[in-house]
Amino acid sequence: MDLELSPEQAEVRRVAADFVNREIVPFAAEWDRAESVDRKIIGKLGELGFLGLTIPEEHGGSGGDHLAYCLVLEELGRGDSAVRGIVSVSLGLVGKSINSFGTPEQKAAWLPRITSGEAIACFALTEPGTGSDAANLTTRAVRDGDDWLLTGTKTFITNGTWADVALVFARTGGEGHRGISAFLVPTDAAGFTAREIHGKLGLRGQATAELSLEDVRVPDAARLHAEGKGFTVAMAALAKGRMSVAAGCVGIAQACLDAAVGYATEREQFGKPIAGHQLVQELIADIALDVDAARLLTWRVADLIERGEEFATASSKAKLFASEAAVRAANSALQVFGGYGYIDEYPVGKYLRDARVMTLYEGTSQIHKLLIGRALTGVSAF
């Protein structure tokens, strides 16, 4: 792997950094307090092509490789993880799934709208009773002629109240993962309702929702991939999605490093900048090491995808390490700031709150340790 960015990748990173500094950083604290980012940001993301990265141009995408995608998500994570999540879910989990498994008609119907920002998508897998144990979901899809009737509840769904289409996973057959199918469900369908979840610890600007489906009717043409192959769709999406989360965590850690260095070189105690105190430098050095290690693990996943090699275990490693590293980085940055880090006039408290959930969703840290262990030993410890 050549670690030097190509001219095209370097330009993508520059454009993303400029965009984040101009359109996100100045408003992140305001959006966090209001528990909602400004929805105009979606159109701006679409205009720059950030919602179409890795999607072929013939389907409305902006092309590019997975490292360019990671570079953009790093910058968005640096600015506001709530915005990063919009892209990771609408494009990363849903748009890429449609591109990989969709029919020509499904691609034509949804991809140009998702990649432009005209439509937002959500990924409806998690249920109140099934988080890590997704194979035992209880939402059901029952055949009714050429249609399906979907009934069930989903929770912690990013973009849930903003979405125009939901990729819903429902049980169409027996028990376990082989009985699950995936459906592209318009959110304006009769019987589909979304309720926003407020009071979150972090990612407060993100539209997180509980979804309720009561006999929601969709045609069989809305089924994504073959009947009974929904779990395959979900796991393929999450394998790449974990790279997205890892890239966003690199961005959080980088923001922590920038903030800690900036504050430590300006703040004076005992007659000199606190950067001149050894233990403060230790905190900063620890953050810097985590940033570099997390970034390299994440870039390796992107490289494996581009090579067409197996990447799921590498993605688990990157997500596990980067999410835990982001928490460590935020905690260390808060320590550098001292008491000022504990008030929201400064950004590090938000970094810590946003980082904490990264160890929970798209596979908890404990689940990823089990996945990595199984890959190494061939023995399932579930």
Task: Provide the annotated active-site residues.
Answer: 362
Structure tokens at 216: 């929601």
229-250 burial: b if 16+ Cβ within 10 Å, else e = bbbbbbebbbbbbbbbbbbbbb
Torsion of CA 120, 126, 132, 133, to 10 degrees: -130
CB 42 within 8 A of CB 117: yes
CB 3 within 8 A of CB 37: no
Structure tokens at 134: 């997704």
- The Cα–Cα gap between 183 and 139 comes to 12
CA separation, residue 34 to residues 120, 203, 330, 345 (Å): 21, 11, 22, 15
Q: Which DSSP string corresponds to 208-257? A: EEEEEEEEEEEEGGGEESSTT-HHHHHHHHHHHHHHHHHHHHHHHHHHHH
**Do strands 180-186 and 223-224 pair parallel, antiparallel, or not at all (unpaired)?**
antiparallel
Q: Which residue has the tokens 């591109």?
A: 99
